[in-house]
Chains A and B, each alone.
Chain A
């Protein structure tokens, strides 16, 4: 399936879905309220069947006051890729968990929580991953400072 046909199909599934510009593959942007239902359809419905969540990460748009969450999906059955992005406010950064759709999301979301401080509602075991419990701040946020940093941001 080519990029445009795939985007059209995905946008047909969810009315609030928009095409995400400036991406190198089929990409859609979805509001956080529609994220979970859309992802469920992407995984379960047949012409799509994205069975592999390749990657999940986030981007800190500090000037816009937003976190952009990025999901990279792949279908081992059909061999197509899709990028799903979802913007959430920086001040109230809570998103639904996808760990009951793809078990690997459990692990990937913990990494994003650890480094960005995005809270996942319904996550079965939300803990620090690389950093120790009680670490102050979230290092991959753009404004992060640490007393041991040589050049404070």
Chain B
């Protein structure tokens, strides 16, 4: 067996000139690493023929911090801090993914108060994350008002987080064995006030942007991803559900207290940009539904079942845990050699890393302006791709 390793320069050799004056010539356009639609540092190289995309070459790595290598030198409790810095819009869910995997491996049983608060926080963050995506999608497609609306409403959820957790972005809240802090006595009341505000506000989002003729033209029937391809390309989260695959871990492999709440898994029919848009809009409503059912019955109990500074020793073995973040399945793979409280190898199966690869299959054949809609509808968070 032999292996040939290529370089980026080899791929970017300029295509040969057109052989007749009537034929066209392909050329490369570089987008990024600093580009407004990347929402971070992601370089995309497009091979174009006129305005039509022939090939997409993603070049990630501009925010690569070596989180997996750092994990090998940190205890399981300290690793939680690093996960905030992957998908920063799903920081609580990232915390939870690690906490859950470690708890399962170490045999720690949490109580129903902890699980309920975790579920509530995760759903609040899902609304916050989808609201940001909605505003940003509007901005990418030229509707700046949506961005202002979504930031105004995110702020209200952010205030609830800030009050409980003390942070707005890098939460470091959900720990193996419980939570960093208990909720405040007026938490339920504040969340209910938020829901009463948010429910009509999502309808207003619809009247503001969803019905807009320009938005519909730019999203409907653009960037179609059939269900079979979506699964083979490893897409998860709203992207695969928009293609019509009802794969939602909250339903398929319930964790937290999702089995106690009633909600629907939202699926699309076609897998175009509009379906991905619609699935996220509807998921915000479902999240509100979940919170409404749980908020009145937060059980009593402790918020931490282990000592906070207790050393967590995992038995020797391979452990994999996963949960549904706002962008898809976040998997945590731990290989513990049984010595000490650091992993021998830790790997994150990040949803954005796998979803990004789908653009190379969706985008060819569409125009460069459609590319903006396609990438925006995938809702990528770049630090989660690079880790």
Chain A positions near chain B (C-beta within 8 angstroms): 20, 22-25, 27, 51-55, 57, 59-60, 70, 72, 76, 79, 81, 83, 85, 94, 96, 102-104, 106-108, 111, 113, 115, 119-121, 123, 125-134, 139-140
Cβ < 8 Å to A, chain B residues 332-384: 333, 335, 344-345, 347, 349, 353-354, 356-357, 361
Q: B105 at interface (Cβ–Cβ under 8 A)?
A: yes
The 10 sampled A-B contact pairs (Cβ below 8 Å) are: A20-B318, A24-B320, A54-B329, A55-B333, A70-B333, A94-B1, A94-B2, A104-B232, A111-B353, A121-B3
Q: 4 closest pairs, A vs B, by CB?
A: A104-B234, A119-B3, A130-B61, A22-B317
Q: B5 at interface (Cβ–Cβ under 8 A)?
A: yes
Q: B103 at interface (Cβ–Cβ under 8 A)?
A: no
Cβ < 8 Å to A, chain B residues 1-30: 1-9, 11
Specify which of B3, B5, B316, B344 is in contact with A59 (CB 8 Å cutoff).
Answer: B344
Cβ of A121 and Cβ of B319 under 8 Å apart?
no
Q: A149 CA to B346 CA in the complex, in Å?
A: 20
Specify which of B8, B69, B318, B344 is in contact with A127 (CB 8 Å cutoff).
Answer: B8
Q: How far is the CB of A24 from chain B (nearest CB, A)?
A: 5
Residues of B within 8 A of A121 (CB): 1-3
Q: A122 CA to B3 CA in the complex, in Å?
A: 7
Cβ of A76 and Cβ of B349 under 8 Å apart?
no
Cβ of B331 and Cβ of A54 under 8 Å apart?
yes
Flag B320-334 by CB within 8 Å of A: 1 or 0 each.
101000000101010
Specify which of A25, A51, A57, A131 is in contact with B232 (CB 8 Å cutoff).
Answer: A51
Residues of A within 8 A of B322 (CB): 54
Residues of B within 8 A of A140 (CB): 68-69
Q: A120 CA to B2 CA in the complex, in Å?
A: 8
Specify which of A72, A96, A104 is in contact with B331 (CB 8 Å cutoff).
Answer: A72
Q: B231 at interface (Cβ–Cβ under 8 A)?
A: yes
Specify which of B1, B61, B68, B344 is in contact with A131 (CB 8 Å cutoff).
Answer: B61
Q: A113 CA to B3 CA in the complex, in Å?
A: 11
Q: A81 CA to B322 CA in the complex, in Å?
A: 12
Residues of A within 8 A of B353 (CB): 107, 111
Specify which of A25, A54, A76, A104 is in contact with B233 (CB 8 Å cutoff).
Answer: A104
Cβ of A119 and Cβ of B234 under 8 Å apart?
no
Cβ of A83 and Cβ of B320 under 8 Å apart?
yes
Residues of B within 8 A of A52 (CB): 231-232, 234
Instruction: Beyond A25-B320, A54-B349, A79-B253, list 8 extra A-B contacts (CB 8 Å).
Output: A54-B234, A55-B320, A76-B247, A103-B357, A119-B3, A126-B4, A128-B7, A130-B386
Q: A102 CA to B233 CA in the complex, in Å?
A: 7
Q: A52 CA to B249 CA in the complex, in Å?
A: 14
Which label, helix, strand, loop or mixed, suits the secondary structure of the A interface? Answer: mixed
- The residue among B4, B6, B234, B331 with the most chain A CB atoms within 10 A of its own CB is B234
Q: A131 CA to B386 CA in the complex, in Å?
A: 10
Residues of B within 8 A of A107 (CB): 234, 353-354, 356-357
Q: Given that A51-B232, A53-B234, A102-B232 are known contacts, is A126 also in contact with B3, CB under 8 Å in the complex?
A: yes
Residues of B within 8 A of A134 (CB): 7
Closest B residue to A23 using CB positions: B318
Cβ of A125 and Cβ of B234 under 8 Å apart?
no
Q: B64 at interface (Cβ–Cβ under 8 A)?
A: yes
Closest B residue to A107 using CB positions: B357
- The residue among A22, A23, A108, A115 with the most chain B CB atoms within 10 A of its own CB is A22
Q: B245 at interface (Cβ–Cβ under 8 A)?
A: yes
Q: How far is the CB of A21 from chain B (nearest CB, A)?
A: 8
Q: How far is the CB of A67 from chain B (nearest CB, A)?
A: 11
Q: B104 at interface (Cβ–Cβ under 8 A)?
A: yes
Q: How far is the CB of B250 from chain A (nearest CB, A)?
A: 14
Cβ of B5 and Cβ of A126 under 8 Å apart?
yes
Specify which of B1, B9, B386 is in contact with A133 (CB 8 Å cutoff).
Answer: B9
Cβ of B347 and Cβ of A83 under 8 Å apart?
no
Cβ of A106 and Cβ of B357 under 8 Å apart?
yes
Residues of A within 8 A of B229 (CB): 103
Specify which of A59, A113, A123 is in contact with B335 (CB 8 Å cutoff).
Answer: A59
Cβ of B318 and Cβ of A57 under 8 Å apart?
no
Cβ of B60 and Cβ of A130 under 8 Å apart?
yes
